[in-house]
Amino acid sequence: MNQPHDQAATLRILSGKKKEDRERSHSSTKRPRIIAMASGKGGTGKTVLSVNLAFQFQRMGLKVLLVDVDPGLANIDVHLRLQAERTTRDLIEGRCRAEEAVLIGPRGLWIVPGGNMGTQLDAGEQQGGDPYNPESMDKLLQALTPLFSKIDLVLLDTGAGIGPWVLRAVERADQTLVVTQSDPASVTDAYALLKLARRRRPDRSPALIINRVKEKREALLTASRLRKVAGRFLSFEPDLAGWLHEDPRIELSVQNQVPISLALDHEDPLYLDLAGCAAKCRALSSAPPSRKGLAGFPGVSPAQHSREKAIHPMPMRERLEKTPPLAQEGKGLLPRAQEGKGLFSGAPIPQDLGHRQKL
């Protein structure tokens, strides 16, 4: 007599269970976007841009993981006055878990420091071959996957040049940002990087950021030259993601190990440069993460990439509640920052710039 009722109840239970399983599966396979910051020539300001763009993405409400994948002179931890205990090399070689390698920086930014090969070679750790080969990049990204359900964006700060390690990062990224300056050497090397990046990922168009320009016209002219040459010989024209004006305050912020984004008033032209770059970069990388990227390294199946959630900014009210104003975090790394006489006109600088804590 109760069989129809029992069957209906059973179907409802099974339906609910399937829904829960789908939601759990969706959550567990969340795939953040990956942006690779690259430069053909060293000294273009790529790392400083990477750090400050990470904070700009955070202000948009995205949870960002900044990973230092410069195999030669990794120094993001130094830029942020952090003490690195575990590095990308520890992850590659399986000496720690992803959450053990993460440092919590200013504004809650997650950072994975890089292994400094110069220091390691100096200490006689060169045995066992080069740890920074293309396969190691795949191992690193695979080691980071336990964090992917908790973040929206992975920002890879690569080394300068066009080595195999850098090109594998470009190949695995959803978007590559090529940082260059306007001088002939930087432009020539940027073109070489554009060529190889396009060859590795023909389904993706690298974008340009022109750094240290004296005026907007200089940035537009540099980008126009690169776009024209790329259009003629590479059959594509890279987008211009933005530019950053030359400003002595940037060097001062580097010396004081304080990200410039945390020191400027939001109406400052330099801050607007950074905010504009971040907004354009996000717009350019708004396409769904491609199957070709992470699907190419072991441990991540292509099926994971077909169930992605769109990235939605955190509501402003929630962001304000989660992120206290800088005035409450401490003050005073840069002299006279609040007096209107120094180089900075923005809020005071936090002293406790970062620490390690359990995720």
How does pLDDT run across 157-192, given as a tens digit for each residue? 999 999 999 999 999 999 999 999 999 999 999 999
Residues 203-213 have a mean pLDDT of: 96
Q: What is the mean pLDDT of residues 72-81?
A: 92
The tokens of 88 are what? 């990308």
pLDDT, average across residues 120-139:
69
pLDDT at residue 253 is higher than 80: yes
Contact 93, 137 (CB under 8 A): no
pLDDT of the residue at 194: 98
Calculate helix-pair angle for 184-200, 216-233, nearest 10 degrees: 50
- Summarised one tens digit per residue, pLDDT across range 281-323 is 999 876 555 444 444 433 333 333 332 233 233 332 343 234 3
Task: Confirm whether pTM is higher than 0.95.
Answer: no
Q: Which residue has the higher pLDDT, 336 or 256?
A: 256
Residue 132 is predicted with a pLDDT of: 82
Of 65-79, 88-102, 225-239, 300-314, the range with the lowest mean pLDDT is: 300-314
**Class level of CATH domain 31-301+309-328:** alpha beta
Highest mean pLDDT among 62-71, 127-136, 306-315: 62-71
pLDDT of residue 15: 53
Place of tokens 């269970």: 17
Q: What is the pLDDT of residues 25-59, one digit of tens each?
A: 444 457 899 999 999 999 999 999 999 999 999 99
Residue ranges covered by each domain of the chain: 31-301+309-328
Contacting residues for 243 by C-beta, under 8 A, at least 6 apart: 209, 210, 211, 213, 216, 219, 223, 273, 277
pLDDT category, 16, cuts 50, 70, 90?
Answer: low
pLDDT at 24 over 80: no
On average, the pLDDT of the chain sits at 78
Give the Cα separation of 161 and 180 in Å (integer): 12
In the chain, % of residues over pLDDT 90: 64
231: amino acid identity, one letter: G
pLDDT for 128: 53
Closest among 8, 60, 66 to 37, alpha carbons compared: 66
Residue 201: its pLDDT value, please? 94
pLDDT-derived band at 6 (thresholds 50, 70, 90) equals: low
Please give the Cα distance from 11 to 301 (Å, whole number): 31
pLDDT at 317: 34
| Range with lowest mean pLDDT among 14-23, 212-221, 264-273, 313-322 | 313-322
244: which strand partners?
Answer: 211
> What is the pLDDT, as a whole number, of residue 115?
84
Exposed (0-12), middle (13-18) or buried (19+): which is 254, by Cβ within 10 Å? Answer: middle
Residue bearing the bigger pLDDT, 16 or 221: 221
The model's confidence at residue 350, banded by pLDDT at 50, 70 and 90, is very low
pLDDT higher at 264 or 120: 264
